[in-house]
């Protein structure tokens, strides 16, 4: 296996881009990543497009050829990678494999979702294509609702109060204030979160990642190709793993176990030769507050039922024990679904290069990004390491 | 919205949906709903077709207040994980109960109810919901 490096990274701001289409966003991010790498876009040999819902929301598939055409890259090997909300992480995994295998020297990945073209309940329905249509979607459950089932079990089992879990959203908003790419650059108070309307009890509006549009892109290459790039600080993809769990939470023996969290993280960390305690910056898939807290526990940063304490103590902030979602996470940076897994790595790349501005984690060398599809039916984990 | 209206898709699941037909794994003994070919827990094949008990209890529940497009107008409604006697779990709506009266651990029983219409003039989909047990 060849070593794989991220030599370029680019993104659009996450938000409601009424004036811009899915292809506009993808092309902007992709070209920004190519420029950042300081290479010629014709050097890119393959393109992986992470996206979930273009078929439902735009009636548009075949994104590989579409994006390649509009980016002036027609000719490259290109196709869409879909794994629900983990589409971005799964696409990056494919890009990693393509370079690691030695088949390609330089490839690009772009994660994109354009959600505001559709009405809210149609977006809800489109997101539900990630679940079992015959036996779950049929019941009228929503993704918020499925996470709410987990949330209620979590609070009951460990005697945790909702106020404590909901604090995760407060943290993310505080971080996003300093991220120019974030959808919500403003703080929220715990009182605002707790008094926002319930969407699917117990989950309240301000505990949910927002609907938004955006695209993020990365250029990956092998060691030989690095000579063509002017970059002096490099980021290596030290580990890349994808794991699945039984699709629907109610069928898992323990719906709180989140087996995929550990399985993917352990595989990626083993490949990178690190342990969870070595991670300097963490990106977790906080589509709902409870997922952020559950991840902190699954990765061993806190015992079961105690993840909320790290949030309350400020340990997730730069300078804390485990700086997490330092650019706002899904909650406040935003969650353009197929883009998210790539945005997470884009955020870590900025930290490892020392480009994170006011939220810089001093001396950050190792980052870990966890991207979930469905209620963690798919988990993609990447370990990134600064190499010079 | 149902992505592609389809009668055969509803028809072929009718026995499993109307009669709660599950599968019992010959190797690990797990009981799953609905019946399928392969055990999700141990990978063994040839699950025995069993009609599941119609009584169980609520393991967790939520109140859907922002529904997908094919349930618009029916909110708020309760969706719960019900663990049937014998261990199989079913995701289903609760009925004949107010959302604020639902509790974890509540005893419930299966009833046959209407779920959704594929479109205003499309097929009506029925299935099992659960109500408080008497
Ligand atoms: Zn089995």
3-class secondary structure, A106: strand
**Residues 6 or more apart whose Cβ sits within 8 Å of residue A318:** A326, A356, A359, A360, A361, A362
Chain B residues touching residue A255 (CB < 8 angstroms):
59-60, 81
The CATH number of the structural domain formed by B54-134 is 2.40.50
Share of chain B above pLDDT 70, in %: 98
Q: In the prediction, which pLDDT does B4 show?
A: 78
Which pTM does this prediction carry? 0.98
Inform me whether the pLDDT recorded for A343 exceeds 90: yes
A65 and A177 share one domain: no
Q: For residue A200, give the nearest of B34, B64, B70 by CB distance.
A: B64
Q: In the prediction, which pLDDT does A211 show?
A: 97
Domain presence at residue A73: yes
Inform me whether the pLDDT recorded for A9 exceeds 90: yes
A66 and A185 share one domain: no
CATH number of A192's domain = 3.40.47.10
Q: List C-alpha distances in Å: A135 to A56, B78, B91, B126.
A: 20, 16, 7, 12
A190 and A89 share one domain: no
Q: In the prediction, which pLDDT does B134 show?
A: 78
Domain limits for position A89: 5-119+211-235
A300 and A170 share one domain: yes
pLDDT (mean) for B66-94: 96
Q: Average pLDDT, whole number, for chain A?
A: 97
Domain presence at residue A125: no
Distance from first CA to last CA of chain A, Å, rounded? 21
Tell me if A140 sits within 8 A of B79, measured CB to CB: yes
Residue in this structure with the two tokens 């300093």, named with its chain if needed: A178
Q: In the prediction, which pLDDT does A193 show?
A: 98
Which ipTM value was assigned to this complex? 0.97
Is A140's CB within 8 Å of B13's CB? no
Inform me whether the pLDDT recorded for A153 exceeds 90: yes
Tally of structural domains, chain A: 2
Q: In the prediction, which pLDDT does A191 show?
A: 98
Helices and strands (H and E) in chain A: how many: 13, 11
pLDDT (mean) for A119-138: 94
Domain locations along chain B: 18-52, 54-134
Order of all β-strands in the sheet with B31-32: B31-32, B21-24, B48-51
Q: In the prediction, which pLDDT does A228 show?
A: 84
Q: Which chain A residue has the Cα nearest residue B115?
A: A139
3-class secondary structure, A76: strand
Compute the CA torsion angle B89, B90, B94, B99 (nearest 10 deg): 60
In sign, the C-alpha dihedral spanning A102, A103, A109, A113 is: negative
Domain presence at residue A10: yes
Q: List C-alpha distances in Å: A174 to A132, A178, A312, A324, B46.
A: 36, 8, 13, 12, 53
pLDDT digits 0-9 by tens, A94-116 = 999 999 999 999 999 999 999 99
Domain presence at residue A43: yes
Share of chain A above pLDDT 90, in %: 97
pLDDT digits 0-9 by tens, A28-50 = 999 999 999 999 999 999 999 99
A282 and A230 share one domain: no
A323 and A361 share one domain: yes
Dihedrals phi, psi of B21, to nearest 5 degrees: -85, 115
pLDDT (mean) for B58-80: 96
Residue A278 binned pLDDT confidence (cut-offs 50, 70, 90): very high
Residue B1 binned pLDDT confidence (cut-offs 50, 70, 90): low
DSSP state, B123? P
Dihedrals phi, psi of A378, to nearest 5 degrees: -125, 135
pLDDT digits 0-9 by tens, A312-335 = 999 999 999 999 999 999 999 999
A196 and A223 share one domain: no
Q: Give me the residues of A, 67-96, that contact B with CB < 8 A.
A: none
Chain B residues touching residue A245 (CB < 8 angstroms):
none
pLDDT digits 0-9 by tens, A229-252 = 888 888 999 999 999 999 999 999
A258 and A223 share one domain: no
Strand duo A281-283 + A366-373: pairing:
parallel
Q: Residue A89 corresponds to which tokens in the numbers above?
A: 């992480």
Chain B residues touching residue A150 (CB < 8 angstroms):
60
Domain presence at residue A124: no
Q: In the prediction, which pLDDT does A5 show?
A: 97
Is B62's CB within 8 Å of A152's CB? yes
Domain presence at residue A331: yes
User: Is the CB of B87 inside 8 Å of chain A's CB atoms?
Assistant: no
Active site residues of A: 85, 335
Is A140's CB within 8 Å of B59's CB? no
**Residues 6 or more apart whose Cβ sits within 8 Å of residue A32:** A10, A11, A12, A217
Domain presence at residue A360: yes
Q: Average pLDDT, whole number, for chain B?
A: 95
Tell me if A125 sits within 8 A of A269, measured CB to CB: no
Domain presence at residue A358: yes
Is A199's CB within 8 Å of B66's CB? yes
Taking every pair of Cα atoms in chain A, the longest distance, rounded to a whole number of angstroms, is 57
Q: In the prediction, which pLDDT does A277 show?
A: 97
Tell me if A295 sits within 8 A of A380, measured CB to CB: no
Residue A351 binned pLDDT confidence (cut-offs 50, 70, 90): very high
pLDDT digits 0-9 by tens, A366-384 = 999 999 999 999 999 999 9
Quote the CA–CA distance of A167 and B44 in Å, as a whole number.
43
Closest CA to A334 of A322, A346, A323: A346
Q: In the prediction, which pLDDT does B2 show?
A: 58
Inform me whether the pLDDT recorded for B5 exceeds 90: no
Inform me whether the pLDDT recorded for A363 exceeds 60: yes
């Amino acid at each position: 296996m060849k070593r794989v490096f991220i030599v370029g990274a680019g993104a659009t701001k996450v938000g409601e881009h009424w004036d811009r289409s899915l292809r506009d966003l993808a092309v902007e991010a992709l070209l920004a990543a190519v420029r950042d790498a300081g290479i010629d876009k014709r050097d890119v040999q393959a393109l992986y497009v992470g996206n979930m819902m273009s078929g439902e929301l735009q009636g548009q598939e075949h994104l590989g050829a579409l994006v390649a055409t509009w980016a002036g890259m027609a000719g490259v090997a290109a196709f869409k990678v879909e794994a629900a909300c983990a589409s971005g992480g799964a696409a990056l995994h494919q890009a990693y494999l393509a370079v690691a295998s030695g088949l390609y020297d330089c490839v690009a990945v772009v994660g994109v979702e354009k959600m505001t073209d559709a009405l809210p309940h149609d977006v809800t329905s489109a997101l539900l294509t990630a679940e079992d249509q015959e036996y779950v979607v049929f019941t009228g459950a929503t993704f918020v609702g499925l996470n709410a089932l987990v949330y209620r079990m979590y609070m009951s089992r460990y005697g945790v109060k909702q106020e404590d879990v909901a604090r995760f959203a407060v943290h993310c908003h505080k971080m996003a204030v300093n991220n120019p790419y974030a959808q919500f650059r403003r703080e929220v108070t715990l009182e605002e979160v707790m008094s926002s309307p319930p969407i699917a009890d117990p989950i309240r509006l301000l505990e949910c990642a927002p609907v938004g549009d955006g695209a993020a892109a990365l250029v990956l290459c092998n060691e030989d190709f690095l000579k063509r790039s002017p970059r002096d600080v490099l980021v290596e993809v030290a580990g890349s793993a994808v794991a699945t769990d039984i699709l629907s939470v109610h069928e898992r023996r323990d719906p709180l176990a989140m087996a995929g969290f550990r399985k993917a993280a352990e595989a990626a960390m083993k490949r990178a030769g690190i342990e969870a305690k070595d991670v300097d910056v963490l990106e977790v898939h906080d589509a709902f507050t409870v997922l952020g807290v559950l991840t902190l526990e699954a990765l061993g940063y806190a015992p079961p039922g105690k993840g909320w304490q790290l949030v309350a103590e400020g340990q997730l902030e730069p300078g804390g024990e485990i700086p997490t979602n330092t650019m706002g996470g899904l909650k406040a940076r935003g969650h353009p679904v197929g883009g998210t897994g790539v945005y997470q790595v884009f955020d870590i790349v900025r930290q490892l290069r020392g480009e994170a501005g006011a939220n810089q984690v001093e001396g950050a060398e190792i980052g870990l990004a966890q991207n979930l599809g469905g209620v963690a039916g798919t988990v993609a984990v990447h370990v990134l390491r600064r190499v010079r | 919205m149902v992505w592609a209206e389809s009668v055969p898709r509803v028809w072929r699941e009718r026995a499993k949906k109307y009669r709660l037909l599950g599968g019992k794994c010959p190797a690990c003994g797990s009981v799953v709903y609905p019946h399928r070919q392969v055990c999700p827990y141990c990978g063994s094949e040839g699950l025995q077709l069993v009609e599941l008990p119609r009584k169980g209890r609520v393991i967790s529940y939520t109140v859907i207040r922002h529904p997908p497009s094919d349930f618009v107008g029916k909110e708020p409604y309760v969706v719960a994980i019900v663990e049937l006697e014998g261990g199989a779990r079913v995701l289903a709506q609760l009925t004949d109960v107010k959302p604020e009266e639902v509790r974890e651990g509540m005893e419930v029983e299966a009833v046959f109810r209407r779920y959704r219409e594929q479109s205003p003039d499309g097929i009506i989909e029925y299935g099992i919901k659960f109500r408080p047990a008497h």
